Structure 1
Amino acid sequence: MSRRFVNLIVGHYPASTLHRINPWRCFYPTTQQALAAAENSKGFTVEDARLPRAAISFYEPLQEETPDDGEMHYASLGSSSNGIISIRPDGNTFLYDGASRSLRVMPAPHSPKYSSVFLTVGDGLYILERNPGTEEDHSFEALLHRAPSDGICFTDEKWYWRSLPPPPYAYDGYECEKVGDYEEYRRRCYERNGRDPYVIRAYTVVRDSQIWISTRDGGTFSFDTTSGVWSEAGDWALPFYDRVEYAPELGLWFGFTSEGRQLAACDLGAASPTSPPVLRKVWDELAQPLPPRWASLMAFLLPLGGGKFCVARMFHLAQKGWFRGSIHDYLEEDTFVVLTGVEVVRGSRGALRMIKHKSRRYSVGCTTADLL
């Protein structure tokens, strides 16, 4: 897999724009040049870059037409991330092909999606609500395609949505082995710390066909996309937060830690129901002190292939000013995304080493953004 672009969705109501950024501009031509630049660096440095022209605009429905129906959702489709799926709150779904610059109308899912995780397995896109409901809610669906039947020549493929069973804890009457009644356990946890113990905190794909979802207090569950069956991977939580990416050339999974949000590596393939995964390496290089007025929002890890990654971090730039009567509070001034090229290599004895390349900053204005 070699990824050519990072897809940046910038939200400006009533339209969100897709910008395709070349992440390889965040890398030096050679690893030796990156090491030499790091030695001569005097702290955190970032280049200002111009946001590429929008490849396409996705217009949202009028707010008065779809009140309380959620927001637009976007997901990449395929290993090259050339396909971008957009799902409107009313269910209308479109596929934008970045390679051919074409737009295709897709079938609508069985039910609206609100706060979901998206994973590509093979050629299919799997969507699961972070707080899944029962099977009747259609909170877990897959966008798949099948070859046409014999004798049909007017189309090359047919896309369709398949409703899938939610995790076993989503069913009424589910009981946790260690705690007892599930509903009582969930209520007590929420009253104790204000957090739902079964909201999905981390997710990934293992062994090419298994979707793993991890909860804070309820363990980790595995869904086999071949058999369509859920199982419990272990009574432990993944040591990551949000999406976890597999790097086949290194045989490891990479993501941000659940606590300090540091870049880390782990071998999930070695985990078992009784043996939780252990972080193999945690890096602090990306956690350097930020410039003044930089307020961190979120981070994304995008694999590029060959042991290289694009670390995308989103920030608010704030300025001092009047706000609610206080002269010392900050006012939001700008939102920007910083892309950093990162290379992970193995030493002579198998030890992992992270080499940081360039960092480039893209301003998106006072708005929201998402990276795919």
Structure 2
Amino acid sequence: MIVHKYIGSRPCFSLHRINPWSCFYPTAQQALAAADANNRTIMEDACLPRASLSLYKPRPPHDIGDITFVSLGQSSNEIIAMDQDGNTLLCEASSHVIGMMPSPHEPMLAPISLRVGGSLYVLDSVPEYDQTFEALVYPGDSCFKDKWYWHSLPSPPFGVPEYEHEEVVVQHKGESRWNRYVVQAYTVVGDSEIWISTVGGGTYSFNTASGMWSKTGRWALPFYGHVKYAPEHGLWFGFSSENGKFTASDLTATPSTTNPPVLQKAWNELAQPLPDRWVPMESYLQPLGAGKFCIVRTFLTAQEGWCRKKDGNCFDNKESFAVFTGVEVERGRKGALRMIKHKSRRYSFRRWRIQPL
């Protein structure tokens, strides 16, 4: 997990390694027995582990631009760090080592990343006139990491007439030509398909084998953020674009280009309603295998201020924190999905920003 904080007066990004298995009981039966009478997960206050390494922000505190961190896969030991100018570093958290990496051909403002096969695909989620899309290709042998290179790929065909011959299902009043194509959700389908979903432009697919884009549907996926595939269930898991709940869907069961995938189930892993002064920020999901997931949600705690407005109280940000929750999804006798809550652990950061990997 990346925490944006200050060392002295200088803003920096610190990498903290948190074991997601600390959010689980040894068995599902123990998790069920530990829940209270209302079946709520017990929340524990946890101490943030010491930072493995820290990187200073490349620009003055009030300048535009940040460092973006991208995990190289299931292991969190190797992480790519890129700033807004394209400068790239390899951070090895376990050995506390930082190495130089080749820079992408074009800098990216808000990159998203997906790993397919032996390559890391990175796309700028906020489109400009030409949306940057590149692959970081690297060999499996760590002795040859200096041979990694970036490969430029065709941009998504947003606005291209041959892909836009049908009117999209969802449109927003006042949207510009490009903000309708901001990537809302993204995932990997099968062994070679990258899906990106936009609210105003529908869903597109990139075939990593052929290097070609295609229009998957006029609809937007019912998710937001990175959607993860769980092979043990044959389903994709993520967060609902409608209410933010933890949810699941079979993306391969889409009946046509005009009908979006259907959510099979949605759960609240935290007791509802949340405290009034908890302001939700971001949500992240990490599959752990065997039907287990670690859900990370970040919040601000608002402290009531002295001013009042017509639409309610005025609040000031008091602290930031993240809640890690372990959940287990299983199928019942009739095949229905059920979520079992394990532990929730809260890590407080005062006013710092949080970016789980």
Q: Please confirm whether the aligned pair reaches a TM-score higher than 0.5, indicating the same fold.
A: yes
Partner residue, 2:153: 164
The alignment status of 1:9 with 2:24, answered yes or no, reads: no
Q: Quick one: which amino acid aligns to residue 222 of structure 2?
A: P
- What does the per-residue CA deviation read over 1:42-70, in whole Å, with 9 as the maximum and x for residues that have no partner? 75641100000000001122329x954x2
Q: Distance in 1 between the 2:81 and 2:238 partners?
A: 25
Separation in structure 2 between the aligned mates of residue 84 and residue 146 of structure 1, nearest angstrom: 16
* Structure 2 unaligned spans of 5+: none
Give the match's secondary structure for 2:17.
strand
2:347 alignment partner AA: Y
Pairwise CA distance, 1:20? 0.6
The percentage of aligned residue pairs carrying the same residue is 50
Hey, what does 1:55 align to over in structure 2?
52
User: Counterparts of 1:170-189 in structure 2 under 5 Å?
Assistant: 176-179=164-167, 189=172
CA–CA distance in structure 2, aligned partners of residues 222 and 62 of structure 1? 35
Contact 2:138 2:148 survives alignment (8 Å): yes
Could you tell me how far apart the structure 2 residues matched to 1:86 and 1:161 are?
14
CA positional deviation for 1:266: 0.5
Q: Find 2:282's aligned residue among 298, 314, 321.
A: 298
Q: Which range is displaced more, 13-22 or 94-103? A: 94-103
Deviation at 1:174, TM superposition (A): 6.1
Instruction: State the one-letter code of the partner of 1:358.
Output: K
**Change over 3 Å in CA distance of 1:11–1:305 after alignment to 2:** farther
The TM-score normalised by the length of structure 2 is: 0.89
- 2:251 aligned to 252, 268, 276, which one? 268
> In the alignment, what sits opposite 1:130?
125
Task: Tell me the CA shift for residue 248 of structure 1.
Answer: 1.1
Which residue pairs with 1:151 in the alignment? Answer: none
TM (normalized to structure 1)? 0.85
**8 Å Cα contact 1:232/1:273 also seen in 2:** no
Question: Structure 1, residues 248-290: CA drift from partner, whole Å, max 9, x if none?
Answer: 1111100111111111110112225435311111224436111
SS class of match (2:34): helix
The CA deviation at 1:157 is: 5.8
Is contact 1:343-1:355 (8 Å) kept? Answer: yes
The 1:348–1:123 alpha-carbon spacing in structure 2 relative to 1, beyond 3 Å, is same
Counterpart amino acid of 2:216?
A: A
Instruction: Write out aligned runs for 1:40-51 (5 A).
Output: 40=37, 43=40, 45-51=42-48
SS at match of 2:300: strand
Structure 1 gap segments, 5+ residues each: 1-6, 149-153
Contact 2:304 2:313 in 1 (8 A): yes
1:155 Cα offset (Å): 3.9
Match 2:314 to one of 312, 329, 338 = 329
- Give secondary structure in 2 for the equivalent of 1:290: coil
Query: In 2, Cα distance between the equivalents of 1:280 and 1:208?
Result: 23
Query: For the Cα contact (< 8 Å) 1:10–1:18, is it kept in 2?
Result: no
Which residues of 2 match residues 131-150 of structure 1 at below 5 A?
Answer: 131-134=126-129, 137=130, 139-146=132-139
Q: 1:142 to 1:194 in 2, by over 3 A?
A: closer
The farther-off stretch of 306-315 and 192-201 is 192-201
Deviations 1:287-340 (A, max 9, x none): 611124211112111111111111111111122233599994221111000101
* RMSD, aligned α-carbons: 2.9
Deviation at 1:242, TM superposition (A): 1.4
Checking the alignment, whether the CA contact within 8 Å between 1:319 and 1:330 is kept in structure 2 is yes
8 Å Cα contact 1:35/1:355 also seen in 2: yes
For 1:317 and 1:288, the matched residues in 2 are separated by 16
* Structure-2 change in CA distance of 1:28 and 1:178 (3 Å): same
Select 1:201's aligned residue among 181, 184, 189. Answer: 184
Residues 267 and 92 of structure 1, relative CA distance in 2, 3 Å threshold: same
Residue 193 of structure 1 and its aligned partner are, at CA, apart by: 9.4
- Matches of 1:233 and 1:179, distance apart in 2: 14
Pairs within 5 Å for 1:1-372: 7-12=1-6, 13-40=10-37, 43=40, 45-63=42-60, 67-68=63-64, 70-134=65-129, 137=130, 139-146=132-139, 155=144, 158-169=147-158, 176-179=164-167, 189=172, 191=174, 196-271=179-254, 273-274=256-257, 275-286=259-270, 288-322=272-306, 328-372=313-357
Q: Verify the 8 A CA contact 1:316 1:335 in the aligned structure 2.
A: yes
Shift of 1:189: 4.5
- Mapped contact 2:157–2:163 kept (Cα < 8 A): no
